[in-house]
Amino acid sequence: MRKRSAMALAVLATATAMTGIMSSAATAAPSPDIAADCPAITAIANEALATSTPLASLPLEESAPIKDAYIGELQGRVGELSTDQGRANVQNFVNALQSASSPADGYLIVNALSKLRSDCA
């Protein structure tokens, strides 16, 4: 049996929780100060589960470099956004990924993804 990292378990817990959140769509229009970034932010939110869920089945020595590469990609995408709120929301998601170290920390990722979704719904 492969040893799972705490981060991998946090991702798995987050993926389970996000299934319900991501399936429901809000009907409010996005805030004008973030609307320009919504296509990019929505893409990030949509890709989050597909990118992070496989990490839960990998041992730490395999998942850590993949997670780090994903975080690096997200940080690059933060620089491409044009609004302060958009950059802050994606950076908040990056920070949540970096700081989640146990399944109990999965709520950090859920909250950050929920914010991405709600601001561009």
Q: How many residues does the chain have?
A: 121
Q: Which residue has the higher pLDDT, 12 or 34?
A: 34
Q: Token pair of 105, please? A: 């920390």
pLDDT interval class at 83 (50, 70, 90): very high
pLDDT band at 54 (very low <50, low <70, confident <90, very high): confident
* Average pLDDT over every residue of 14-25: 49
Q: What is the pTM of this model?
A: 0.74
Cα 121 from Cα 42, distance rounded (Å): 9
**From CA 6, how far away is CA 103, in angstroms rounded?**
6
| pLDDT(86) > 90 | yes
Q: Are 18 and 47 in contact (CB under 8 A)?
A: no
Nearest 10 degrees: Cα torsion 83, 84, 90, 91:
150
Please, are residues 42 and 90 in contact by the beta-carbon 8 Å criterion?
A: no
**3-class SS of residue 59:** strand
Each domain of the chain, given as residue ranges in start order, spans 6-21+32-119
Measuring CA to CA, how many Å separate 100 from each of 10, 25, 34, 51, 105?
Answer: 7, 26, 26, 16, 5
